[in-house]
Structure 1
Amino acid sequence: MPIGMKLTKKAELIDNDSLSNLRFYKYSSIDKSFISNHILRYYWNAVAELMPLWLAPNVITLIGLIFIYANVLCILIFVPDLVGPGPSWLYYSFAAGLWMYSTMDNVDGKQARRTSSSSPLGELFDHGIDSLNCTLGGLIETACMGLGSTPSGAFITMVSCLAMFFSTWETYHTHTLYLGYINGPTEGIIIACLLMIVSGVFGPQIWQLNLNEIIYVPSFLPESVQYFRVSDIFVFVVACAFFFVHLPFCIYNVYQARMRRNQPFYPVLLEIFPFVWASISVVFWFGSEYSDILYRNHLVLFALTTSFAFGRVTTKIILAHLTLQPFPYWTIMMVPIYVAPFLFYVFPRVFGINLFLGKFEVAYLWGYFFFASAYFLSWARIVIDAICDYLGINCFTIKNPVKSK
């Protein structure tokens, strides 16, 4: 295929042999959420019925992302410090935007089945958009709770990337997208929307109150518990949910899948090393006293940048899963994150010369943003064109629309 051959001359390999494996594609998912299966599915089905049959599923997915970008634009205009407080309607709009994103994310697959246009591209596009949204959704939550450019704000902004990466890694090995009884795409979205509505009613400052100012704290609990801020408790719960629930289950599911196929398990743990390294690099970068990322309120720019960089990581894994290719360990788009701790942590400590504060770090981050966005978008276009050409489909239109009944 011409497009496939053209792509082999690029940085990424998706030749005809890789594309030919798309014929083995079969989407598989397990969603055990009670809310999804017994409540929201009726809502999603009703919304799907409102969609015209000529509307391509990928357009619906893209519309969902536009709602998130609208939220981010509002952050830049009204609460650029991620603290605020902003006007009440702003936080309601955050909830509406996130809810609409979630709705579109669940309706696109139903639209694909209604229009008989399901394809491997749909899964790649859907989960690719989800990957782009990870840091942006976290950023909106940070602004909603008034966390600002703080370690807590950075954690809430980035933790979704950790969850998404391990879910994608799990799907690569199990060939099934697994969503538990309580999961991020359903219950997590609902909780986030409720928090945004609370911020609209009471203002984001409510999350900075001590626990004993919100509810009654029994006297037998340590006195220090009474002075825990509500936002700190929220961050703690999110951290526990990831490290003690989501992560162990992902690893366990991969372990079971490998055992069923009589394949060794421990070698696949090496696949997570590059991403763990990147996560640790971010911690050292942000934690360095020589870095201005948090102190000068550059968390929004960092989130926009890593949205593309992280999106590149997970879409490579998804593409490898769809085309039955080896697991992609590395991507050039993470190199700036690997390098940053040496520039902004190690170098100043070793040489005692702080050359990289202020304008250089901002320029470095802006350069990373332009590189990441340009590289991701160009790569995405090449891959989409290659798959569309091979399968004989369009990305944003339906070649043979189903006639209305």
Structure 2
Amino acid sequence: MGLGSTRLGALTALIPTLPMFFSTWETYHTHTLFLGYFNGPTEGLIIAALIMILSGYYGPTLWTSPLATLFGHEQFLGKTSFLDLWAPILLLGLCLAHIPDCVNNVYQARRGRNQSLTPALLEWAPIFIFTASLCAWLGSPYSHLLKDNHLSLLCFTLSPAFGRMTTKIILAHLTRQDFPMWTVMLAPLLIGSILINLPYIGLPGLSASSELWFLRGYFAFATIVYARWAVYVCNSICNYLGINCLTIPEDKWMALKAGAPPNERPEANRLASGSVRLQKGGANGKFA
């Protein structure tokens, strides 16, 4: 679409994270994965694919051309292009077609258990911090990330940060733990949004070079922490179940080859004896 390193490009990168969070929050409370009439995994991906196909065939100028050149009615459409409508389309789709259904499903589930909706709404704090910090950072006139074309690096940095936030919710749901209200991945984002806006209170802010190095450090931190946590979670689950992540253990496939009944296979003996247990505190307590 030719958005480039702009605020609209940043909004386009941010918006898909929001329905992902709310759907994960919804699943945590309802124990059901809902796919509404309009959702990211189906309609969202189809629309994204169509946009890429059209951009590849007609070129990105398609989205900046006046709609009147395609549909006529210049007296009504004027010089309005598709990109002029892109932000409202994204925001209205999120606020009208997705979030209300998530809230209603959680409300119905909690009402059925005689629980109030208010505590569940407070669990929006992580995504509020994520979104508000990002908007404060990129929306600041003192930020150079978009001006210096570093949106791609920012997206690569925020991917593990957001991924950690949602996968903690999924893990908490599977292991019946409390809803995770914080992850250390959000700390650099929050700190960065504060540092970049220090000139508002008369203090020196970050220079363009310092801001870039801060982002690079955040990227390294987020990548290492997420990778370490992912390995820890995979190993904990695999050890508990007596399986491997990407391969079949030799003792298991040998038992299968020998035709051993399910109750005599190695993993059945491990689980029955209770010899394997997840560490106390769960994976959400590791590198929070």
What TM-score results when the alignment is normalised by the length of structure 1?
0.60
Out of 194, 197, 201, which is 2:57 matched to? 201
Q: Tell me the secondary structure at the aligned position of residue 339 of structure 1.
A: helix
- Matched residue, 1:315: 167
- Matched residue, 2:73: 217
**Which structure 1 residue ranges, 4+ long, deviate > 4 Å from structure 2?**
399-403
Distance 2:206 2:41 in 1: 39
Per the TM alignment, residue 396 of structure 1 is displaced from its structure 2 partner at its CA by 1.1
Per the TM alignment, residue 398 of structure 1 is displaced from its structure 2 partner at its CA by 3.6
Stretches of structure 1 that go unaligned for 5 or more consecutive residues are: 1-144
Q: Which has the larger radius of gyration?
A: 2
Out of 12, 19, 22, which is 1:166 matched to? 22
Give the 5 Å matches for 1:129-148. Answer: 145-148=1-4
- Matched residue, 1:155: 11
Per the TM alignment, residue 320 of structure 1 is displaced from its structure 2 partner at its CA by 0.2
Distance 1:204 1:157 in 2: 17
Distance 1:207 1:371 in 2: 37
- Matched residue, 2:85: 233
Per the TM alignment, residue 180 of structure 1 is displaced from its structure 2 partner at its CA by 1.1
Relative distance call for 1:337 and 1:154 in structure 2 (3 A) is: same
Out of 197, 209, 215, which is 1:359 matched to? 209
Q: Tell me the secondary structure at the aligned position of residue 332 of structure 1.
A: coil
Distance 2:67 2:210 in 1: 41
Distance 1:300 1:218 in 2: 36
Q: Percent identity?
A: 47
Stretches of structure 2 that go unaligned for 5 or more consecutive residues are: 258-288
Q: Does 1:385 align with 2:241?
A: no
- Matched residue, 2:273: none
Out of 254, 269, 277, which is 2:121 matched to? 269
Q: What is the CA RMSD across the aligned residues, in angstroms?
A: 1.6
If asked which structure has higher relative contact order (CA below 8 Å, sep 6+), I would say: 1
- Matched residue, 1:290: 142
Q: Is the 8 A contact 2:38 2:98 kept in 1?
A: no
Give the 5 Å matches for 1:322-337. Answer: 322-337=174-189
Per the TM alignment, residue 182 of structure 1 is displaced from its structure 2 partner at its CA by 2.4
Distance 2:73 2:44 in 1: 26
Per the TM alignment, residue 235 of structure 1 is displaced from its structure 2 partner at its CA by 2.8
Distance 2:49 2:170 in 1: 28
Distance 2:73 2:40 in 1: 29
Per the TM alignment, residue 181 of structure 1 is displaced from its structure 2 partner at its CA by 2.2
Per the TM alignment, residue 277 of structure 1 is displaced from its structure 2 partner at its CA by 2.1
Distance 2:126 2:171 in 1: 18
Q: Does 1:372 align with 2:222?
A: yes
Per the TM alignment, residue 236 of structure 1 is displaced from its structure 2 partner at its CA by 1.9
- Matched residue, 1:180: 36
